[in-house]
Chain A
């Protein structure tokens, strides 16, 4: 059998070896840099501590990175490469698993870049003579990492479930938009369980107390469910 590590390496390569993905990763890097300008330029509006610099970096990263990973999932079907991929490895479930692991690896590397960008921005602010609380808050750092992984996983899961690039991208934005309506007061209770804008926000700010179940439920709805549907569809679907 093809070693699983080999499949992961192949999927990693396929995620970044096409021009569209490279441009989007480059744009993601610019967005992170741009997001870091917010706490730098508006010191009176943004809390000057390391946590808030990291929060801005994570928000910048979470705009496009999930789409890069979504497209890696849909490309097999939209570009019809499934025919080649699944004749090289007919155990399709392994290919899906390798794609997920490759996507998580990319999100971790991107997270390290965001961490670096946040650190540089804090140093720059301090260098400019500003007082920034630069202590490390480990639970906040863990939240930062988990937020990046979770937002990336949502993109992967929706791509895995829908197979079609255009439909997946539209759904990703439209569903996120619809669920953000759950922030309005009358629907707030539901939103606290279903809207990742709310629940992943708690993850990012390290606000875990009383929210663990809510975060888990929203992750199950947005990640585990579509990924499971996508895996079954991929294994069963006829390849033309």
Chain B
């Protein structure tokens, strides 16, 4: 269970995230949608303890990420597949993480096989394609058999086969009672996978609910809704950013 409450972060004059509140229940896949720069990644970084929020809180199973004893056993995180050491082999990357988290090497090898990297495991990550790095990032996130998955643009760089594979994996995970939060700027991808949507624009939550609710309410197709909601947020952001400073929740 992920719980985000009144989370805000500003960088100088830019309010990257404003008073964001939403939660993700076990057994569901939540799609976190927003254009580039809408505040998705900043929110996910605050959720995983990589960025300190100005106000508000984010918890996983009732605890802040930084209070989790061995986080990888509870939460699998993949925020950026290019954040891997290019000089280390895929196998070594997995084994170092296995050592840190107390997971057997056999599990690391099993995931390399499951992500289709067994053949490339002894090659250095520097020689990997974007899709292969993405697979390695996913293998790292799954290493500790976590119940919660937090994935930023997980289908980025994957081929259609890989995209089908990750969809199946996430659905299985949720079906077994796991919690999934995945971000994307690609509507179709989220539409095909998620049960619930949280849409962020200009740092603010502009809509949230189940796919059915959101589509039923507007009677539009999701694409139009997404574009209209995010462009509204962006334009109102540009015109009222100074005026809204006083009303900003702190």
- A-B pairs with beta carbons under 8 A, tally: 88
A189-240, CB < 8 A from B = 236, 238-240
Min CB–CB distance B164 → chain A (angstroms): 26
- Which of A81, A82, A88, A90 sits near B101, CB closer than 8 Å? A88
Q: Which of B52, B87, B92 has the most CB of A within 10 A?
A: B87
Among B19-27, B76-84, B199-207, B224-232, which stretch is in contact with chain A? Answer: B76-84
Min CB–CB distance B54 → chain A (angstroms): 12
B100 lies within 8 A of A90 (CB): no
A86 lies within 8 A of B49 (CB): yes
Tell me whether B180 is interfacial, beta carbon within 8 Å: no
B82 lies within 8 A of A238 (CB): no
- Which of B77, B79, B85 sits near A79, CB closer than 8 Å? B85
B70 lies within 8 A of A239 (CB): no
A87 lies within 8 A of B99 (CB): no
A86-105, CB < 8 A from B = 86-91
Bound Cα distance A88, B80 (Å): 14
Q: Which of A20, A87, A238 has the most CB of B within 10 A?
A: A87
- Interface size of A as a range: 20 to 34
A2 lies within 8 A of B80 (CB): no
B70 lies within 8 A of A1 (CB): yes
Instruction: Write out, one digit per residue, whether chain A residues 117-161 have a CB within 8 A of any chain B CB (1) or not (0).
Output: 000000000000000000000000000000000000000000000
Bound Cα distance A240, B80 (Å): 9
Q: Please give me the residue from chain B that is nearest to A19 by CB atom.
A: B87
- Which of B68, B95, B140 sits near A84, CB closer than 8 Å? B140
A90 lies within 8 A of B99 (CB): no
Min CB–CB distance A171 → chain B (angstroms): 22
B180-200, CB < 8 A from A = none
Bound Cα distance A6, B48 (Å): 22
B44-88, CB < 8 A from A = 45, 48-52, 65-66, 68-72, 75, 77, 79-80, 82-88
Tell me which residues across on chain B come within 8 A of A57, comparing CB atoms: none
Tell me whether A63 is interfacial, beta carbon within 8 Å: no
B82 lies within 8 A of A13 (CB): no
Bound Cα distance A13, B95 (Å): 10
Tell me which residues across on chain A come within 8 A of B48, comparing CB atoms: 87, 90
B96 lies within 8 A of A17 (CB): yes
Min CB–CB distance B117 → chain A (angstroms): 16
A89 lies within 8 A of B88 (CB): no
Tell me which residues across on chain A come within 8 A of B92, comparing CB atoms: 17
Tell me whether A18 is interfacial, beta carbon within 8 Å: yes
Tell me whether B97 is interfacial, beta carbon within 8 Å: yes
Instruction: Write out, one digit per residue, whether chain B residues 204-229 have a CB within 8 A of any chain A CB (1) or not (0).
Output: 00000000000000000000000000
Instruction: Write out, one digit per residue, whether chain A residues 40-78 have a CB within 8 A of any chain B CB (1) or not (0).
Output: 000000000000000000000000000000000001000
Tell me whether B102 is interfacial, beta carbon within 8 Å: yes
Min CB–CB distance B141 → chain A (angstroms): 9
Min CB–CB distance B95 → chain A (angstroms): 8
Bound Cα distance A1, B69 (Å): 4
Tell me which residues across on chain A come within 8 A of B97, comparing CB atoms: 84, 88
Tell me which residues across on chain A come within 8 A of B123, comparing CB atoms: none
Min CB–CB distance A181 → chain B (angstroms): 36
Tell me whether B124 is interfacial, beta carbon within 8 Å: yes
Min CB–CB distance B41 → chain A (angstroms): 9
A238 lies within 8 A of B52 (CB): yes
A17 lies within 8 A of B88 (CB): yes
A interface, CB within 8 angstroms of B: 1-2, 6-7, 9-10, 13-14, 17-20, 75, 79-84, 86-91, 236, 238-240
A-B CB contact pairs (8 Å), 17 listed: A2-B69, A2-B100, A2-B101, A2-B102, A14-B96, A20-B87, A80-B83, A81-B85, A83-B80, A84-B84, A84-B97, A87-B77, A88-B101, A90-B48, A90-B66, A239-B51, A240-B45
Kindly list 12 other residue pairs between chains A and B, CB separation below 8 angstroms, not including A2-B100, A81-B84: A10-B100, A14-B85, A18-B85, A84-B83, A84-B84, A87-B50, A88-B72, A88-B101, A89-B100, A90-B49, A238-B45, A239-B45
